Amino acid sequence: MTANRNNDKLTTSWGAPVGDNQNSMTAGSRGPTLLQDVHLLEKLAHFNRERVPERVVHAKGAGAHGYFEVTRDLSQYTKAAFLSDVGKRTPMFIRFSTVAGELGSADTVRDPRGFAVKFYTEEGNYDLVGNNTPVFFIRDAIKFPDFIHTQKRHPQTHLKNPTAVWDFWSHSPESLHQVTILMSDRGIPATLRHMHGFGSHTFKWVNAEGRAVWVKYHFKTEQGVQNLDVKLAAQLAGEHPDYHTEDLFNAIDNGDFPAWTLYVQIMPEEDANSYRFDPFDVTKVWSQKDYPLIEVGRMVLDRNPENYFAEVEQATFSPGSFVPGIEASPDKMLQGRLFAYGDAHRYRVGANHNHLPINRPIAEVNNNQRDGAMNATNNGGGSVYYEPNSFGGATESPQHKAAAFEVSGQADSMSYDHDDHYTQPGDLYRLLSEEERARLVQNIVEAMTPVKSDEIKLRQIGHFRKADPEFGQRIAEGLGL
């Protein structure tokens, strides 16, 4: 690290030199302090505001800069410019995170890891905001606040509450697939470099002719998948709670640049109506036998942030940040996230969060959004501030309209048509080796032991039994039920 020597004078935030930074201005040596000491007032007022509200979820994270390079031409499926040419490189920033813990929580807890990638493309920023798992606990955004409440602290004791966690999961059988992954060896990655990443949701790709396909993203780590032993993870959580954060920084700092190969699964648009699982249900995967992985490109992380707060903490990602050629699917969880993420950033960082350097597009921005706190631009100057107009202001581009799609049916609060929540977690259990199954069962037993209600335990065991009778039986025996 080298000090910034561009300006050796200490100044106020408005650039005036500071005459004394050791003593506040007082009436005599004893005081009281004078209100006219504006440097003191500014220091204290800014200090009180140095922490933006932490993220409700994914508060603890680490990030890095890098690039994405296209290795295969897939323009037959998408018109997205940053995917258009083999060899094309796009700058990007990634933020890894745990989900449930606070900003100061340990890196090595059993938790999914956020895997959020911002591509700075010539058509605007594209954010792919996923996890290190291909599925999620729930499939409708209306359940998300309740789910996250179970992962947070009890309002009376301010302690983590396993009873709430397993009560919610036992009432939500769609969570079983993700629970099985979370409680397996993959629940605690060895480092952020040694795990896969997924878009998790189904998205839509549209080509230049307007033809659409459904797509799922898979980032495969080139470092190989490695996980932590439970006891070692617990030891690190106590002795070295920032273990993953430090590992990522040091690897890049030492020139050991981590990389991932991006693959996609592509489903023809019409297959969505006949596939054996609902392809928009984020608690399910598509079989790779049905829709094989197709290589797209390679992501390499080669530069650490210069300032954690400015880049990692203030980075804002939204699955609704699309570019032409990439659109949303009817995935109900995704549909909720399209609003919720941007709204969280407007609350946490401010309405003008995209003015910040880490979030600012490299593409020119022309819109009629004005004013708001911390507006870091010329606020549109004296230009036209509405549309349509008669004065040459920015206009819409009909060629970039989202692809049309059919909707049908009665407007109502309803679930997905498919409710098989047991086949895929059962298949996953049977794919594991005996050693992996034993560790999975032991992890679940240890996690469920503190639950205060046998009714909750038995309800959850019933789900494990439906996935695989042996799976449920071993957990029941481990819990003495």
Q: Is the pLDDT of residue 411 over 90?
A: no
Write phi, then psi, for 347 (nearest 5 degrees). Answer: -80, -45
Whether 126 has a pLDDT exceeding 60, the answer reads yes
Q: What percent of the chain has pLDDT over 90?
A: 75
- The CA R_g of the chain, rounded to the nearest whole Å, is 25
What pLDDT digit, counting tens, does each position of 159-197 carry? 999 999 999 999 999 999 999 999 999 999 999 999 999
pLDDT tens sequence across 312-326: 999 999 999 999 999
pLDDT score, position 3: 43
Average the pLDDT over each of 20-29, 75-84, 415-424 and give the range with the smallest value: 20-29
193 close to 221: Cβ distance less than 8 angstroms: yes
Q: Tokens 């890196």 correspond to what residue? A: 107
d(CA 18, CA 436): 62
428-462 in b/e form (b: 16+ CB < 10 A) is bbeebeeeebebbbebbbebbeebeeeebbebbbe
The whole-number average pLDDT for the span 21-26 is 80
Count of other CB atoms within 10 angstroms of residue 290: 12
pLDDT at 144: 94
Is residue 44 predicted with pLDDT exceeding 80? Answer: no
DSSP 345-411: HHHHT-TTGGGSTTT--SS---------TT--S-TTTTS--SSS-SS------GGGPPPP----S--
For the stretch 280-300, pLDDT in tens is: 999 999 999 999 999 999 999
Region 78-90: mean pLDDT is: 96
Name residues whose C-beta falls within 8 Å of residue 470's C-beta, 6 or more positions apart in sequence.
none
Please say whether the beta carbons of 181 and 133 come within 8 A. Answer: yes
| Torsional sign, CA 295, 297, 302, 306 | negative
Active site residues: 58, 131
